[in-house]
Structure 1
Amino acid sequence: MTEDDLEDAFERLHDLITGAEDLKGFLDGVAGFAAEKMSRVRGTQIECAVTLRRRKHSTTIAGSSEKAVMLDQIEQRMGEGPCVEALEVGHPVILSDAHNEKRWPNYCKVLSTEGYRSAVGIPLNLGPDSDGVLDFFAAPANEFAPDTLGDAHVYADMAARTLRLAIRSARPNNWRTTSRPHWKAEPSSTSPAG
């Protein structure tokens, strides 16, 4: 990634932060940005989803497409796969070919049925109470390898930096996947009556 590419990437992420009306819109933008850049680098269509874990509860909160969200939700529901494992171990986990993978046979069967053979989870260190992972999916096998993940790490680092800011800016009761203007807080049931 060149210096100009990095400058462009940070400018696009800044635009996402300042232009998003809510957290979901921002995270959809981050996933779309990462998918677009990885697709260009890899020369094939890459899908991306964002999974957040707060207080040991994981949820797919955004994606580059409905397909990306669906693929990640399947993995979260099944509780197995490279993205789930990346959250647990804190380093990238690669699924090279779902047709030959032995670690997650049930997940690989479903992923293959959906037309995807490779995936990778890149963890995001978001602070003491939160973790996340950028989940990338590709139809061809062997699309992700340790020596080809340099750009994915760059996008994950940029996403983690901006997500840490968003997490600090939002209160816990603002974590909703529905559109809400400017991360508005719901009135607290413990607020004194006025």
Structure 2
Amino acid sequence: MVTSGESSTAAAEMLYDLLVDNEDLAGFLGDLATISTTQVGPGGATHCGVLLERHRRNVVVGWSSPEARKLDETQAGFDAGPCLDAQRTSTLIRVPDVRYEARWPAYMAVVRESGIRSILAVPLTLSGAGAAAMNFYTSDPVGFDDADIERARQHAALASRALSVAVRIAKESEEAADRRRAMESRTAIDVAIGVIMAQNRCRQEEAFDILQKASNNRNLKLRTLAEELVGSIGQQAPITSFDS
């Protein structure tokens, strides 16, 4: 017989493997949703979707199946539903039987047509890194009992820690990419200024003013125009005069 402690250890090991195997958040969330279907629900929940909303970043989602994706995207379209409420209020929400659920009427109408009968929305805790929740769907009426809810809470605690690590890794990777792009942008602009100085026999400040004025007149980002200028080097003479 597998004890709850052994089950938690096995789940933690699976979540650790997800961190190792995935290079981006979307892939991690998709695999997290798939694994979660084996941890919660009657014989494993039929479908699962995971929603992550990051501060000053994009919304990232993952699903265990096309059905979960459709239901989650429909919920997002209505901007109303159990998963969104669980995410926004950090409250576990259970819908025992969607046929008799009065909340979120527009969304529930779509869910009923899909054949889903029970929903369990479980918030995830991310320590200030954003807000997230898991949505479990099953075709069984009254599909999530008290034991399922307790397993969902335990699984959510493990998933929250793993997702927090995944978000931190993604944040560090994104910040490194931002720094790299900034350096590349600065390099292109510096080279372009040097070319303008050489061709126009002017000072650095004057060369920058020329480049900036051309950027404004042509409605191009400074970096884009600088890259065009740098790219023209070697093609006869560099383009260092710009039409107003």
TM range (shorter): 0.7 to 0.9
1:28 to 1:82, Cα distance in 2 relative to 1, 3 A: same
Give the corresponding residue for 1:67.
67
Once the two structures are TM-superposed, the CA of residue 155 in structure 1 deviates from its matched residue by 1.5
Instruction: Determine the structure 1 residue equivalent to 2:54.
Output: 54
Shift, 1:121, TM fit: 1.0
Per-residue deviation, residues 66-112 of structure 1 (Å, max 9, x unmatched): 21122111111111111111112211011121111111111111001
Instruction: Tell me the C-alpha RMSD between the 2 structures.
Output: 2.5
Match of 2:35 among 33, 36, 46: 33
For residues 6 and 116 of structure 1, what CA distance do their matches in structure 2 show? 28
Cα shift at 1:144: 2.1
Please give the alpha-carbon distance, in whole angstroms, between the structure 1 residues aligned to 2:127 and 2:70.
26
Q: Give a deviation string over 1:104-141, Cα, whole Å, max 9, x none.
A: 11111100111112111100111224010011011122
Q: Counterpart of 1:4?
A: 6
1:11 & 1:140 partners in 2: Cα distance? 29
Aligned-pair CA distance for 1:31 = 0.8
Indicate conservation of the 8 Å contact 2:18/2:32, yes or no.
yes
Query: Are residues 165 and 173 of structure 1, via their aligned partners in 2, closer, same or farther at CA, if it must alter by over 3 Å?
Result: closer
Counterparts of 1:63 and 1:20, CA distance in 2: 15
Shift of 1:65: 1.3
SS at match of 2:100: coil
Aligned-residue sequence identity (percent) comes to: 27
1:126 paired residue number: 126
The correspondence of residues 1-194 of structure 1 with structure 2, limited to 5 A, is: 2-39=4-41, 42-43=42-43, 45-55=45-55, 59=59, 61-171=61-171, 174=174, 185=177, 190-191=182-183, 192-194=185-187
- Which one has the bigger strand percentage? 1
Between structure 1 and structure 2, the one with the greater Rg is 2
One-letter amino acid of the counterpart of residue 32, structure 1: T
Q: How many residues align?
A: 184
In structure 1, stretches of 5+ residues that fail to align are 175-182
Distance 2:144 2:56 in 1: 27
Task: Pick closer, same or farther for the CA change 1:94–1:168 going to 2, 3 Å.
Answer: same
Stretch of structure 1 that moved more, 104-113 or 47-56: 47-56
Larger RCO (alpha carbons 8 Å, 6+ apart): 1
The alpha-carbon distance between structure 1 residues 4 and 170, as it changes in their structure 2 partners (threshold 3 A), is: same
Relative distance call for 1:57 and 1:187 in structure 2 (3 A) is closer
TM-superposed deviation, 1:188: 6.2
Residue ranges of structure 2 left out of the alignment (5+ in a row) = 188-244
Q: TM-score, normalised by structure 1?
A: 0.83
How far, CA to CA, are the matches of 1:133 and 1:56 in structure 2? 18
